[in-house]
Amino acid sequence: MSVRFDTLSDAAAWYRAWLSEAALPLWAGAGVDPVGGLFQETLSLEGRPVEAPRRARAQARQVFVFAQAAQAGYGGRWLTVAQTGWARFVAAYRRPDGLFRNRVAADGTPLDSEADNYEQAFVLLAMAALQAADPAVSFEAQARGVLDALQDRRVAGGGYRENGPHPFQANWHMHLFESTLAWELIGGGAWRTFSDEVAELAMGKFIDPATGALREFFDEQWRALEGEGGLVEPGHQFEWAWLLDRWGRSRGDDRALAAARRLFEAGLKGVDPVREVAVNALWDDFSVRDGSARLWPQTEHLKAAVVLGDEAQALRAARGLAQYLDAPARGIWRDKLRADGTFMDEPAPATSFYHLMVAIQALTDAVA
């Protein structure tokens, strides 16, 4: 499929039609397990469930998607999908300490007793979206409870230690940043402290002052790892650029706005002009490390381009993303584009819907 948008308004209309007519109905139907009620982890390219362990991030992201759809005017029925999904998620995933376990089986049987920070960030985002869509129900105390339960993971130099092989990483902090910024809009100034801490950590530690690029992995002193650890992901350059631009505008902080601009320019170094896609990874000298291109960096490319780029750059990003939506079932997406320009035939991960939802909303806002 080759979609040639003449204007950003054309692109926004095309994406909104795809979302409202196909993606939301499909994932609210086939994307929900009729027995246990949890969201499906994946759907086939033909739109049928493919059984897989249910990750907390997938459940929380789907709650966010449907709550956001209701708030954005796609229809009140999507809020019911979000609220029902949330109730089932809480019943299956919440631990006694208030955090949410990483994975369960289709019937809700726990498969992983750990509660990674990354998963909790999306729990916070889901709660913010639920409250924004229905202010009559407050989730703020629950959200603060999640943050309180993470305090024993604090690091002396700022930020938090993550579980797993990369305890000192930028990625989970990025999603915490996204969530606290969402809470600022509905929960007031108490959330500003959390957002400000992550923004300062990003500008002071995560971003290489020489290149302006965001690094991914660090030692316990927040010094960037080199060599094999010196990963630069174009998608995350765009994602952090979009977030720091939002934070910088809200604070009137020129440092953040300048950092966002440099991040956007770093991300553009990872865009393949032939396929019109952001590749998965670069080395720290900006040479290509992984020329394959997953779907999610394309959504981040689009979000950043409509805010920090010109119309030609934004249209290129919109075209690049659109090719991933050419699947046998409308409302499904392809996830991995190989370096040779062919897609892998594999199920569509539910987790990508969150990326698509936010990108489409950013595009819509840009042309409003």
pLDDT in tens, 164-204: 999 999 999 999 999 999 999 998 788 999 999 999 999 99
- The answer to whether residue 368 scores a pLDDT higher than 80 is yes
Beta bridge partners of 294: 336
pLDDT score of 87 more than 70: yes
pLDDT of amino acid 182: 98
SS3 content of the chain, % helix, strand, coil (to 5): 55, 10, 35
Query: 272: part of which helix (H) or strand (E)?
Result: strand 271-272
What is the C-alpha separation between 214 and 217, in angstroms, rounded? 10
Q: How far apart are CA 40 and CA 156, in angstroms?
A: 39
On the question of pLDDT at 157 being above 90, the answer is no
Query: Is 2 within the bounds of a domain?
Result: no
The answer as to whether 209 is a domain residue is yes
> What range defines the domain where residue 66 resides?
8-367
In a domain, 172, yes or no: yes
What predicted TM-score, i.e. pTM, was given to this entire model? 0.97
pLDDT tens digits, one per residue of 233-264: 999 999 999 999 999 999 999 999 999 999 99
- Residue in this structure with the two tokens 């990874």, named with its chain if needed: 281
Q: Is residue 273 part of a domain?
A: yes
pLDDT classification of 1: cutoffs 50, 70, 90:
low
Q: CA–CA separation, 27 vs 62, rounded Å?
A: 9
Is residue 62 assigned to a domain? yes
In a domain, 1, yes or no: no
pLDDT per residue as tens digits for the range 117-152: 999 999 999 999 999 999 999 999 999 999 999 999
Q: Residue 66 domain-assigned?
A: yes
> How many Å apart are CA 221 and CA 156, to the nearest integer?
9
* Helix extents (H) in 213-288: 234-251, 254-268
Structure tokens at 363: 């595009």
CATH of the domain at 323: 1.50.10.10
Flag whether 270 is in a domain: yes
| Strand pairing category for 288-290 and 293-294 | unpaired
Higher pLDDT among residues 106 and 190, named by residue: 106
How many structural domains are present in the chain? 1
Write out the two tokens for 91.
């019943």
pLDDT band at 220 (very low <50, low <70, confident <90, very high): very high
Q: What are the phi and psi torsion angles at 210 (to 5°)?
A: -75, -40
Binned at pLDDT 50, 70 and 90, residue 88 comes out as very high
